[in-house]
Amino acid sequence: MADLLPEQIRLWQHIEATAREHFRRSAITEIRTPLLEVTELFARGIGEATDVVGKEMYTFLDRGERSCTLRPEGTASVVRAAIQHGLLSQGPQRLWYGGPMFRYERPQAGRLRQFHQIGLELLGFADACSDVEAIAVAWDLLAELGVGGLELQLNSLGSSEDRARYREQLVAWLEQRRDQLDADSQARIHSNPLRVLDSKNSDTQALLAEAPSLASALGEESQARFAAVQQALSALGIPFVLNPRLVRGLDYYSHTAFEITSSQLGAQATVCGGGRYDGLVQQLGGPATPAIGWALGMERLVLLLSQADAPLAAAPALDLYVVSRGEAAAALALALARRCRQAGLAVERDASGAAFGKQFKRADRSGARWAAVIGEQEVVEGLVGLKDLRAGTEQADQRLTPEALLEAMTPQDLSTDGCQARV
């Protein structure tokens, strides 16, 4: 878990704003779900045999002796909300979410125990083109953000019947080689054998090169569907590589599974991952509903864009910096700052009471073009000094009533020429 300091927030806000606009153009609407859910939601949705449920969730009993869990991912919560509020009866849903998730796992670069995700869920979409649309939205978003070295890895997990057939083949093959597997893989042979394919142990991975392939267990319908996904990706000009070992870490996936990686991240290269989960809605008590979704990690995105020194939009300009000396002047400065803010201006008020010279130095560093100056004389005369901070003097350029200053400093007149002309 880590704090996000003011100097870091700009990049986070840039990513969030870009994503929000990207989703708007794709007709995808936002949904927000609680951080805290009943534990059963994730046990049923993610799968009790997964590492997420078995080892990584933050789970506790509340005062009502109910088992609660800080959400470790977003999909199960979105599906629960769609079922609970009858969204699925209104037709297919195009939803996105963002916010913190929690997993008790080993902290690493770009991944902490409290981490943040932005995710997409298309509920009620069954066709192969919907798989490709979901992938394209993620691919184009990352490209728009300036993430380099992208690679789309693709696999098909087939139907539930395909996976059951393959599971039998894989379990039999693994049992014959149990002594050659690492301890985690041995434990998964019967509980979650497909996860063995995703082992990070190099010796196990070398052994798995000879393991039966999931692709060979796919039925004709699954094969045709996967071929349609590949064709549609090629038609859009989105390059991909087939990765037969890609299974993802959650039990609800079926058919298309994918990850988008970046060569700029090193070993932990995955930026975005997702896939189809046609059985999850029904598994959580809703009607049979096809669906596909993905999530991308904010921390890894931030790490990537920080390393690449990606260009950001200019920081919002400060319109006015208000300096004052004395109690009476401070009260007028407060009132002036408030009136200007209510009129739509970005205003910072110096509350130090320091000498004007020190306040003007802070005003220069603030980035504001103009400074409002209120001293003893201005209090007596009911006027406000207006200083051009780029002129290089400590003298106010004009002395105006607060009303006249406010009239001059309107949003449509904040350009250099406009403001000077009116003052």
pLDDT at 255 over 50: yes
Check pLDDT > 90 for residue 86: yes
Closest CA to 325 of 355, 285, 361, 345: 355
Question: Does the pLDDT value for residue 177 go beyond 90?
Answer: no
Rounded to an integer, the average pLDDT of 190-194 is 78
Within a domain: 51: yes
Do 173 and 299 have their domain in common?
Answer: no
- Residue 81 is predicted with a pLDDT of 97
For the segment 34-81, what is each residue's pLDDT rounded down to a tens digit? 999 999 998 887 776 677 777 789 999 999 999 999 999 999 999 999
Q: Identify the CATH number of the domain in which residue 329 sits.
A: 3.40.50.800
**Whether residue 294 sits in one domain with residue 400:** no
Residue 418 in this model has a pLDDT that exceeds 50: no
| Domain count for the chain | 3
- Examine the pLDDT at 211 and tell me if it is beyond 90: no
Cβ neighbours of 167 (radius 10 Å): 16
Q: What pLDDT sits at residue 44?
A: 85
Mean pLDDT of 112-137: 95
pLDDT value, residue 93: 97
Q: Are residues 123 and 258 in the same domain?
A: yes
**One domain for residues 177 and 133:** no
Same domain membership, residue 253 and residue 213: no
Which pLDDT value is given to residue 39?
92
Cβ neighbours of residue 404 closer than 8 Å, sequence gap 6 or more: none
Top-confidence residue, 144 or 421: 144
Which residues neighbour 318 within 8 Å (Cβ) at sequence distance 6 or greater? 346, 347, 348, 366, 367, 368
pLDDT value for 310: 62
Least confident of 130-134, 249-253, 344-348: 249-253
What is the reported pLDDT for 417?
A: 41
DSSP, collapsed to helix, strand or coil, labels residue 105 as: coil
Whether 60 maps to a domain, the answer reads: yes
41 and 107 housed in the same domain: yes
Pair (139, 186) in one structural domain: no
What is the chain's mean pLDDT, rounded? 87
Q: Is residue 230 part of a domain?
A: no
Whether 227 is covered by a domain: the verdict is: no
The pLDDT, as a whole number, for residue 413 is 45
Do residue 38 and residue 122 come from a single domain? Answer: yes
> Per mean pLDDT, which range of 122-126, 189-193, 222-226 is the poorest?
189-193
Q: Is residue 229 part of a domain?
A: no
> What is the share, in percent, of the chain residues with pLDDT greater than 90?
58
Query: Which of 251, 230, 217 lies closest to 75, judged by CA?
Result: 251
Angle of helix 128-145 relative to helix 298-308, nearest 10 degrees, comes to: 40
What range defines the domain where residue 150 resides? 6-159+237-308
Same domain, 335 and 190: no
Q: Looking at the structure, tell me whether residues 274 and 133 fall in a common domain.
A: yes
- The pLDDT value recorded for residue 233 is 97
Q: Chain centroid to CA 377: how far?
A: 52
Round the CA-based radius of gyration of the chain to a whole number and report it: 29
Residue with tokens 């809703």: 286
| 83: in domain | yes
**For residue 412, pLDDT beyond 60:** no
Mean pLDDT of 394-405: 82
Query: Which of 232-241, 349-358, 383-392 shows the lowest mean pLDDT across its residues?
Result: 383-392
Q: Any idea what the CATH number is for the domain that residue 109 is in?
A: 3.30.930.10
Q: Are residues 275 and 392 in the same domain?
A: no
